[in-house]
Structure 1
Amino acid sequence: MHVKFYTKPGCSLCDEAEQMMHLIQEDYPLTWTTVNIEEDDAKHEQYVFMIPVIEKDHEVLCSGRIGYADLALLFDSEV
């Protein structure tokens, strides 16, 4: 599964979410494109209070405090 990962520099929740994404890669086929919301005014306005945000096909799959279980559920719902 390939997703977009919306983040910004200095975001500790984003750093934690990215660590969980690296961990989940050991068990599930996850890849992502990182998007810094500070480089896109529209995305900044849309996600400034939600980051980190994981989005696929323009649908927010999860946001805020993202843990391993949250990511695993994404793959369970794909089956």
Structure 2
Amino acid sequence: MNAPSLILYQRDDCHLCDLALEVLAAAGTPDFESAFIDEDAALEARYGARVPVLHDAASGLELDWPFDAATARRWLDAGRTSSPAAGEGGC
């Protein structure tokens, strides 16, 4: 079985990350992995202020927080061909 191509980058004890999980569930997001950036220097450097971020490993495209279920669904349905501009950042 192939690993999911979607990865949600997040932090421990991050209320925005918890909200993102709820939004992704409401959007009917297919299986994804959770990657916690807290103890990974490279991920911290890349995603530190941006989490939560939904990353498509197949295309390299990312959906930055804030997003709602409709935005996530459009991003997924469009084949992840575009990513909205970065929002206000995360935790």
Aligned residues: percent identity? 20
Higher strand share: 1
In structure 2, the partner of 1:50 is 50
Larger helix proportion, structure 1 or 2? Answer: 1
8 A Cα contact 1:14 1:52, kept in partner:
yes
The 5-angstrom pairing of residues 4-15 of structure 1 reads: 4-15=7-18
Cα distance change of structure 1 residues 78 and 53 upon mapping to structure 2, 3 Å threshold:
same
- Per the alignment, residue 87 of structure 2 pairs with none
1:24-63 to 2 correspondences below 5 Å: 24-25=27-28, 30-57=30-57, 59-63=60-64
What SS does the aligned partner of 1:9 have? coil
Please report the RMSD computed on the Cα atoms of aligned residues, expressed in angstroms: 2.0
Secondary structure of 2:63's match?
Answer: strand
Compute the displacement of 1:75 (Å): 2.4
* Partner deviation per Cα, 1:10-30 (whole Å, 9 max, x = no partner): 2111111100111122xx5x1
Q: Structure 1 length as normaliser, TM-score? A: 0.81
Q: TM-score under structure 2 normalisation?
A: 0.72
Q: Which runs of 4+ in 1 moved over 3 A?
A: none
